[in-house]
């Protein structure tokens, strides 16, 4: 069972104290104490405020939007408030689209369909070998419409994407570069800004899959150079939900799936059907949580987006200390590790295998010791099975820490692995 001894605080490299004990108190699932959550890349736990906001939505605004009565006005306004906060989180321009959907995969499928409806035979898309298949297969499906796919392959041994390898894939027919902001299997942070600059110089648009990134860093569309972006609030301490951003160029290039009477340039045009209002309202409370953390660490910044980004950056410094401890412990146990060798250049997501064991065997053993980790390809199938060649091992074990993880979590995993 997990250890109940928990670190009280961890220091970031700027000398501020990360309020780990008070932070964990805010997450009911962590307080329950029966699971060591190190499968956060598959979905994160939520603070009490999010649960309360979902309850509030289902108690006081469980109606549809657009009506004249009070509950309907409430749900309409609540949604627009959260949309505004998401726009500030992303640094989205005021003429951009910020739309909600069920999850990132569905939104990427909508986007690929829109791209396909506007495409001409011979149009080219560059995808990467580092991506989750949610950002590969919808684009691959366009081959039937004459769209040509080129793949930017990661380089061995650490499976990193090099802009030098991207340049030859870009040409006058390239319409889109679509790439991950962070690998959900290896944690690697590719240089998205450098890639975007190359793609833009070739006249292409850039789509960033920020699903893994957004739990660890602010996905600032300006800094990333993203014309379009998706992320999933359920990986970012909120309810099950997806978010889509389109800048003006992408919005104008790709026809929205709008109903005939909806303004095709509006955010609503990308929200076919009724949304999960309670999930959207619940996600709003994640920004309150980030504001609480900003206060805790003494981060004074008036701009919402920069403040939330500052909090995530401080959290990532805390996470890096956990990553270092985990990597060191895995090395001591003789684990085979994948991706970058140290904590630098990555999130706190770590993929590995134990000597002579298949990945699922290790995850099942960890589960018997109360530790949640993932095993397999984590939907980054090509990366795991083809580029890393892990089919015979059944993929890899993946441990993923987030801002509320602590050194007791890492110690519990290492102790379980030592007993294999
Ligand atoms: C990097 C990445 N992209 C896309 C997805 C798919 O997200 P969703 O579950 O919201 O469809 C995931 C989910 O694990 C992911 O990690």
Which alpha helices (H) appear in 26-103, and where do they start and end?
A: 28-32, 48-60, 70-90
**Cβ–Cβ under 8 Å, residues 362 and 397:** yes
Centre of ligand 1 to C-alpha 387, Å, is 19
The ligand 1 atom nearest the CA atom of 181: 1
Centre of ligand 1 to C-alpha 110, Å, is 15
Q: Is 291 part of a structural domain of the chain?
A: no
Per-residue confidence (pLDDT) for residue 390, from 0 to 100: 98
43 and 58 part of one domain? no
Q: Is 298 part of a structural domain of the chain?
A: no
Q: Is 295 part of a structural domain of the chain?
A: no
Mean pLDDT value across residues 208-236: 98
Read off the pLDDT of residues 48-103 as tens digits, 9 standing for 90 and up.
999 999 999 999 999 999 999 999 999 999 999 999 999 999 999 999 999 999 99
17 and 64 part of one domain? no
Number of DSSP helices (H) and strands (E) in the chain, helices first = 15, 15
What whole-number distance in Å separates Cα of residue 183 and Cα of residue 371?
Answer: 22
Q: Is 248 part of a structural domain of the chain?
A: yes
Burial of residue 139 (number of CB atoms within 10 Å: 0-12, 13-18, 19+): buried
Phi, psi of 28 (to 5 degrees): -55, -40
Cis peptide before 157 (omega within 30 of 0): yes
Number of domains present in the structure of the chain: 2
Please name the residues in contact with 300: beta carbons below 8 A apart, sequence gap of 6 or more. 294
318 and 238 part of one domain? no
Q: Which residue has the tokens 């892990």?
A: 390
125 and 39 part of one domain? no
Mean pLDDT value across residues 317-337: 98
Mean pLDDT value across residues 402-418: 98
308 and 234 part of one domain? no
| SS3 of residue 374 by DSSP | strand
Looking at every residue in the chain, the average pLDDT score rounds to 95
Query: pTM value?
Result: 0.96
Q: Is 182 part of a structural domain of the chain?
A: yes
227 and 372 part of one domain? no
Read off the pLDDT of residues 41-59 as tens digits, 9 standing for 90 and up.
999 999 999 999 999 999 9
Q: Tell me the CATH number at 65.
A: 3.40.640.10
> Which of 259, 286, 313 is at the close of a domain?
286
Q: Which two tokens stand for residue 337?
A: 């590790």
Cβ of 209 less than 6 Å from ligand 1: yes
Centre of ligand 1 to C-alpha 196, Å, is 21
Provide the pLDDT confidence category of residue 16 given band limits of 50, 70 and 90.
Answer: low
**Cβ–Cβ under 8 Å, residues 31 and 25:** yes
Which alpha helices (H) appear in 151-209, and where do they start and end?
A: 163-166, 192-201
**Cβ–Cβ under 8 Å, residues 112 and 138:** yes
- The string of DSSP codes covering 332-365 is HTT-EEES-SSSTTB-SEEEEE-TT--HHHHHHH
**Cβ–Cβ under 8 Å, residues 124 and 174:** yes
Q: Tell me the CATH number at 408.
A: 3.90.1150.10
Radius of gyration of the chain (CA): 21
**Half-sphere CA count of 250, side-chain side, radius 13 A:** 31
What whole-number distance in Å separates Cα of residue 395 and Cα of residue 303?
Answer: 42
Lowest mean pLDDT among 229-238, 264-273, 327-336: 264-273
Residue nearest to atom 7 of ligand 1 (CA): 104
Q: Is 153 part of a structural domain of the chain?
A: yes
Cβ of 103 less than 6 Å from ligand 1: yes
26 and 83 part of one domain? no
**Cβ–Cβ under 8 Å, residues 154 and 126:** no
Read off the pLDDT of residues 115-128 as tens digits, 9 standing for 90 and up.
999 999 999 999 99
Q: Is 222 part of a structural domain of the chain?
A: yes
Q: Tell whether the model's pLDDT for residue 9 goes beyond 50.
A: no
Beta bridge partners of 149: 125
The percentage of the chain sitting over the pLDDT mark of 90, rounded to a whole number, equals: 95
130 and 241 part of one domain? yes
Q: Give whole-number Cα distances, 19 to 142, 163, 222, 337, 406, in Å.
A: 47, 38, 30, 30, 11
- CA 178 to chain CA centroid, nearest Å: 15
204 and 115 part of one domain? yes
325 and 229 part of one domain? no
Read off the pLDDT of residues 370-406 as tens digits, 9 standing for 90 and up.
999 999 999 999 999 999 999 999 999 999 999 999 9
Per-residue confidence (pLDDT) for residue 407, from 0 to 100: 96
What whole-number distance in Å separates Cα of residue 342 and Cα of residue 332?
Answer: 14
Pocket test for ligand 1, best of 133, 209, 211, 400 (most atoms within 8 A of CB): 211
What whole-number distance in Å separates Cα of residue 319 and Cα of residue 347?
Answer: 8
Beta bridge partners of 329: none
> Which of 252, 286, 320 is at the close of a domain?
286
Q: Give whole-number Cα distances, 33 to 22, 167, 263, 358, 409, in Å.
A: 15, 49, 48, 28, 11
Cβ of 216 less than 6 Å from ligand 1: no
Q: Is 296 part of a structural domain of the chain?
A: no
155 and 26 part of one domain? no
Range of the structural domain that residue 108 is part of: 52-286
Per-residue confidence (pLDDT) for residue 242, from 0 to 100: 98
The ligand 1 atom nearest the CA atom of 213: 1
Provide the pLDDT confidence category of residue 33 given band limits of 50, 70 and 90.
Answer: confident
What whole-number distance in Å separates Cα of residue 74 and Cα of residue 68?
Answer: 10
The ligand 1 atom nearest the CA atom of 183: 1
Q: Tell whether the model's pLDDT for residue 5 goes beyond 80.
A: no
Residue nearest to atom 12 of ligand 1 (CA): 211
Q: Tell whether the model's pLDDT for residue 167 goes beyond 70.
A: yes
What whole-number distance in Å separates Cα of residue 301 and Cα of residue 310?
Answer: 9
Cis peptide before 380 (omega within 30 of 0): no
Q: Tell whether the model's pLDDT for residue 348 goes beyond 70.
A: yes
Backbone region of residue 396 per phi and psi (left: phi > 0; alpha: psi in -120 to 50; beta: other values):
beta
Q: Tell whether the model's pLDDT for residue 13 goes beyond 70.
A: no
233 and 354 part of one domain? no
Centre of ligand 1 to C-alpha 232, Å, is 7
Read off the pLDDT of residues 239-262 as tens digits, 9 standing for 90 and up.
999 999 999 999 999 999 988 899
**Half-sphere CA count of 146, side-chain side, radius 13 A:** 8
> Which of 222, 256, 286 is at the close of a domain?
286
Cβ of 275 less than 6 Å from ligand 1: no
| SS3 of residue 227 by DSSP | coil
């Amino acid at each position: 069972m997990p250890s109940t001894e928990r670190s009280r605080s961890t220091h970031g490299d700027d000398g501020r104290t990360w309020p780990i004990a008070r932070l964990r108190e805010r997450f009911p699932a962590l307080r329950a104490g029966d699971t060591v959550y190190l499968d956060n890349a598959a979905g994160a736990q939520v603070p009490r405020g999010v649960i309360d906001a979902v309850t509030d939505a289902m108690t006081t605004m469980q109606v549809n939007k657009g009506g004249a009565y009070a509950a309907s006005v409430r749900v309409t306004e609540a949604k627009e408030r959260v949309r505004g906060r998401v726009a500030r989180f992303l640094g989205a321009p005021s003429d951009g689209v910020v739309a909600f959907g069920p999850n990132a995969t569905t939104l990427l499928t909508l986007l690929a369909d829109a791209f396909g409806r506007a495409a001409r035979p011979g149009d080219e898309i560059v995808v990467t070998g580092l991506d989750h298949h949610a950002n590969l297969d919808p684009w691959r499906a366009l081959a039937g419409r004459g769209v040509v796919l080129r793949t930017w392959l990661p380089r061995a041994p650490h499976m990193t994407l090099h802009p030098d390898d991207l340049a030859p894939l870009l040409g006058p027919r390239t319409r889109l570069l679509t790439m991950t902001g962070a690998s959900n299997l290896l944690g690697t942070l590719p240089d998205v800004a450098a890639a975007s600059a190359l793609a833009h110089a070739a006249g292409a648009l850039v789509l960033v899959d920020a699903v893994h990134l957004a739990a660890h860093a602010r996905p600032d569309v300006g800094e990333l150079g993203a014309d379009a972006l998706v992320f999933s609030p359920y990986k970012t301490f909120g309810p099950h939900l997806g978010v889509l951003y389109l800048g003006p160029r992408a919005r104008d290039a790709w026809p929205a799936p709008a109903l005939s009477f909806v303004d095709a340039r509006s955010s609503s045009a990308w929200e076919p059907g009724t949304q999960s209002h309670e999930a959207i309202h619940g996600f709003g409370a994640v920004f309150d949580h980030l504001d609480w953390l900003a206060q805790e660490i003494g981060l004074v910044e008036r701009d919402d987006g920069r403040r939330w980004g500052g909090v995530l950056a401080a959290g990532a410094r805390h996470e890096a200390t956990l990553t270092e401890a985990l990597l060191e412990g895995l090395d001591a146990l003789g684990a085979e590790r994948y991706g970058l060798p140290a904590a630098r250049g990555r999130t706190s997501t770590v993929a590995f295998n134990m000597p002579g064991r298949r990945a699922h065997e290790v995850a099942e053993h960890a589960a018997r010791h109360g530790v949640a980790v993932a095993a397999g390809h984590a939907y980054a199938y090509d990366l795991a099975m083809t580029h890393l060649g892990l089919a015979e091992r059944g993929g890899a074990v993946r441990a993923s820490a987030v801002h509320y993880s602590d050194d007791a979590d890492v110690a519990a995993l290492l102790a379980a692995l030592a007993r294999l």
